[in-house]
Amino acid sequence: MIQMKTALITGATSGIGAACAHLFAAQGYNLILVARRAQLLADHAKHLEDKYAIEVKKIVADVRDFENLSYHLETLPAQWKKVNVLINNAGLSQGLEPINKGSVEDWDTMIDTNIKGLLYSTKIVSNWMVAEKSGHIINIGSIAGKDVYPNGNVYCATKHAVDALNKGMRIDLLPHGIKVTAIHPGLVETEFSIVRFKGDEGRAKKVYDGLEPLIADDIAEAIWFAVSRPAHVNINDMLIMPTAQANGTIIDRK
Ligand code: NDP
Ligand code: 8X3
């Protein structure tokens, strides 16, 4: 029997993570999928197993809870710990307020998810990769990690941290033969803005008014490009924008 490759994707129930799950399943990868919404995760996993004849491990966990995440991952059977690709995707924005008006609770949620959650999954899985002397870590950053836009303050700071962590991981994991790539998207129409505006779908829709945003598949394809390079090639960093978006603030809306 041919040993299939395995990808672990955090934040796999919607948007970019769900698109990656489909694409990697179509490429014959078994999947470890992490997210909090258990029913959605179960539905996605069943669909992928049925459609692509792969195996999926569902991990219902919050990436902010290191003990719980670690318990679920470390108790996987040994063959599931040979993870070839880790996609650190789980992340979110909460609110869009000037620094003096922002909610401390929102700040904590973003910092704990986007920075600490990414660190937690990396700590666990990078040790497995070090033991195998191979692997590829994909960190989902953002244009918000390259630019800062009005009222984006803390979300932008978390994505600047992802950019720095990506560079740090690349250095630290270099001797172990582990690839590290940051993918930084501009506007992608997913549940991101609905989450940012706490369920206000009308306000979320306006973010994409008058331009053609990226879709989650555009980012999944870029990730697959990075992962499918030959062994001697590492894509360190990729910034991917809608054609109508020049940077964090300049958007050509018709
Ligand atoms: P979505 O809201 O569609 O997806 C976010 C995913 O993250 C969901 O599957 C959600 O699952 C999961 N998630 C959120 N918090 C946690 C948590 N604490 N523990 C586990 N899983 C969690 O947004 P996107 O697909 O757009 O976002 C994916 C990544 O892309 C994020 O890091 C985001 O910052 C980044 N990004 C998005 C851009 C955009 O314009 N959409 C642009 C640039 C970067 P569940 O709720 O089930 O836990
Ligand atoms: C998500 C894209 O421009 O809202 O990271 O920050 S943006």
Cite the DSSP H helix spans in 115-215: 118-132, 153-173, 192-196, 201-206
Reported as a single tens digit per residue, the pLDDT across 93-123 is 999 999 999 999 999 999 999 999 999 999 9
Within 13 Å and on the Cβ side, how many CA atoms surround 89? Answer: 29
| Active site (annotated) includes residue 155 | yes
Cα 62 to Cα 36, 107, 166, 179, 226, distances in angstroms? 6, 17, 21, 25, 27
What is the mean predicted confidence (pLDDT) over 136-155? 98
Average pLDDT, the chain: 98
Percentage, residues of the chain above pLDDT 90: 98
pLDDT of 1 > 90? The answer is: no
- From the list 29, 52, 120, 155, the catalytic residue is 155
Distance 247 CA to ligand 2 centre (A): 10
Closest residue CA from atom 6 of ligand 1: 11
Contacts of 29 (CB under 8 A, 6+ apart): 4, 5, 6, 7, 54, 84, 85
Q: Residue 250 CA to chain centroid, in angstroms?
A: 24
58/84 Cα distance (integer angstroms):
17
User: Residue 3: its pLDDT value, please?
Assistant: 60
Distance 241 CA to ligand 2 centre (A): 10
What is the mean predicted confidence (pLDDT) over 173-180? 98
Domains and CATH numbers, the chain: 6-240 (3.40.50.720)
pLDDT of 29 > 70? The answer is: yes
The single-letter DSSP state of residue 232 is T
Q: What is the largest CA-CA distance in the chain?
A: 59
Whether the pTM exceeds 0.95: the reply is yes
pLDDT of 2 > 90? The answer is: no
Q: Describe the crossing of helices 15-26 and 38-52 by its angle, rounded to 10 degrees.
A: 20
**Ligand 1 atom at shortest distance from the alpha carbon of 155:** 34
Distance 102 CA to ligand 2 centre (A): 17
pLDDT of 22 > 70? The answer is: yes
**Ligand 1 atom at shortest distance from the alpha carbon of 188:** 40
What is the mean predicted confidence (pLDDT) over 150-156? 98
Ligand 1: which residues within 6 Å by Cβ? Answer: 10-17, 34-37, 40, 62-64, 89-92, 113, 117, 140, 142, 185, 187-188, 190-192, 195, 216
Distance 191 CA to ligand 1 centre (A): 8
Q: What is the ipTM of this complex?
A: 0.99
Closest residue CA from atom 19 of ligand 1: 62
121/125 Cα distance (integer angstroms):
6
What is the mean predicted confidence (pLDDT) over 15-40? 98
**Ligand 2 atom at shortest distance from the alpha carbon of 152:** 6
Residue burial 1-33, b: 16+ Cβ < 10 Å; e: rest: eeeeebbbbbbbbbbbbbbbbbbbbeeebbbbb
Reported as a single tens digit per residue, the pLDDT across 195-233 is 999 999 999 999 999 999 999 999 999 999 999 999 999
User: Residue 198: its pLDDT value, please?
Assistant: 98
